[in-house]
Amino acid sequence: MKRIILNLRIAVRSLMNFKVRSILAILGVLLGTFSLIVVSNVSKALTIKTEREAESFGKNLLIVRSGIVRRVGTGTRLLSEATTLTVGDARAIRDGSQFVTDVSPSGNTFFPIRYENTVLKAVLVAGVTPNYSRIRNFPVGEGRFLSDEDDRTLGKVAVLGTKVAERLFGRENPIGKYILIWRVPCQVIGIMQEKGVDISGVDQDNQIFIPLNTYLKRFVNKEYINVISVQVSDAQVLAATKEQIENILRTRHKIRPGQNDDFTVIDLKDVMALKTQAVSMITLLGRISATVSFLIGGLGILSIMILIVNERRLEIGIRRAVGSRKKDIVLQFLLEASFISFSGGTIGVLLSSLATVLIFWLVHLPFTISPFGHALSFLASVTVGILAGIYPSQKAVRIQPIDVIRT
């Protein structure tokens, strides 16, 4: 232990003689440690957020959309609309697949909304069935959701998203108040919990829900709908259920082989997988940058250790002449190289932890720490120091005392 402490004191004194180069070498390891830990923490938080988003849309959910929908980036975009999807299709899907536990047909369009002197020119109004809230995992925050009685009697009732309620009523309690949806007065019976944006980019907090039959017969006077939410019994059969639904709808819509579908069945897990792939790409790029930083740091340590060996030939020769063993010389330079990498790694861990907390707070990510990232960063920093110190230490032990005396 005394030898190690003595060698550490010599190492610090030696590195202080080369302050700028030592700082640059430490900086390379610091950046590698910093980027590796931050990327690991952020990618893990993004993965957790993606999983929560998938769960928030509904458990084991398939979305049947009228028209052609294509994936764009990590979301979806409607390319063409169709008027062939009906409530009867929803019943056929429910009755035609043993894997389907429930369905919720719905339609939506934009209407102007008014409450007293406040007018909202275009708000998305969705006609939904009473089971929509359960299937889409979208609970009511205040009041109640739509009932079977509301749907059967074409009730003029409405449930508001949180943003609509705030824009219309401010701090006033909207429950029991009447609003005008287009020209139809509807009583507010509930306010939904805050939900956010769905995969198609629709802000679910900025819409109003009314009974489906009320929507079809009092507002749009049409028979077709836009969406059918399908709940499946098990996640393992989502792909099989999707194929069954496509076959059922192609038969009902009389679509011949070779013709394009007039509907799209969306598996939300597939869409979430795109986000997971994007997170994986970010993680990969971050680890590549961390590796490059570690390589730069290792080269910096290697260069400064070679310089130190050349500058201390006299010291090494004298130590060898008075009885220092080769392993003492090797340990000396390995300790110096490891001290540089350990210092960079320690500072990198501290700074990355602070940066992670700041990032989570600014972008509202789930707070999580990646033990793998910390362990890998520590191991990488120590490894860089040891590897970078091997060649200079071997060069140092090859110095012969007699050669030093001669020169």
In this structure, are 240 and 286 located in the same domain?
no
Flag whether pLDDT at 198 surpasses 80: no
In this structure, are 352 and 303 located in the same domain?
yes
Residue 381 belongs to a domain: yes
For the stretch 37-48, pLDDT in tens is 888 888 888 777
Q: Which residues of 332-366 are buried (b: 16+ CB within 10 A; e: fewer)?
A: bbbbbbbbbbbbbbbbbbebbbebbeeebeeeebe
For the stretch 80-133, pLDDT in tens is 567 889 999 999 999 999 999 999 999 999 999 999 899 999 999 999 999 999
Q: Residue 327: give the domain boundaries.
A: 2-52+273-406
In this structure, are 122 and 252 located in the same domain?
yes
Cα distance between residue 154 and residue 148, in whole Å: 10
Of 239, 261, 283, the domain-final residue: 261
In this structure, are 238 and 321 located in the same domain?
no
Look at the alpha carbons of 69, 71, 72, 74 in this order and tell me if their dihedral is positive or negative. positive
Of residues 289 and 213, more confidently modeled: 213
For residues 395-407, average pLDDT: 74
Residue 353 belongs to a domain: yes
In this structure, are 254 and 310 located in the same domain?
no
- Dump the DSSP string for 54-76: HHHH-TTEEEEEESEEEEETTEE
DSSP letter assigned to residue 24: H
Of 220, 239, 261, the domain-final residue: 261
For the stretch 294-324, pLDDT in tens is 787 778 778 877 877 777 777 777 777 777 7
In this structure, are 242 and 306 located in the same domain?
no
**Is 368 within 8 Å of 48 (Cβ atoms)?**
yes
Flag whether pLDDT at 350 surpasses 60: yes
Interior angle at CA 216, CA 212 and CA 219, nearest 5 = 110
Cα distance between residue 102 and residue 369, in whole Å: 38
Residue 267 belongs to a domain: no
For residues 140-150, average pLDDT: 95
Q: How many domains does the chain have?
A: 2
Q: Residue 275: what pLDDT?
A: 60
**Is 111 within 8 Å of 219 (Cβ atoms)?**
yes
CA-nearest of 276, 366, 242 to 74 is 276
If pLDDT is split at 50, 70 and 90, which confidence band does 352 have?
confident
**Is 112 within 8 Å of 242 (Cβ atoms)?**
no
Q: What tokens were used for 209? A: 């829900």
In this structure, are 242 and 290 located in the same domain?
no
Of 241, 261, 281, the domain-final residue: 261
Q: What distances in angstroms separate CA 166 from CA 17, 163, 188, 199, 327, one per listed residue?
A: 65, 5, 13, 24, 74
Of residues 268 and 102, more confidently modeled: 102
Flag whether pLDDT at 74 surpasses 50: no
Cα distance between residue 202 and residue 207, in whole Å: 9
Phi and psi of 66, rounded to 5°? -70, 140
In this structure, are 381 and 345 located in the same domain?
yes
Q: What tokens were used for 109? A: 């369009």
For the stretch 326-337, pLDDT in tens is 777 777 778 778
Residue 115 belongs to a domain: yes
In this structure, are 128 and 247 located in the same domain?
yes
Q: Are strands 227-232 and 100-115 parallel, antiparallel or unpaired?
A: antiparallel
Q: What tokens were used for 181? A: 């949806």
In this structure, are 228 and 359 located in the same domain?
no
In this structure, are 307 and 172 located in the same domain?
no
The residue count for the chain? 407
For residues 138-156, average pLDDT: 94
**Is 107 within 8 Å of 220 (Cβ atoms)?**
yes
Residue 66 belongs to a domain: no
Of residues 270 and 283, more confidently modeled: 283
In this structure, are 281 and 233 located in the same domain?
no
% of the chain at pLDDT higher than 90 = 34
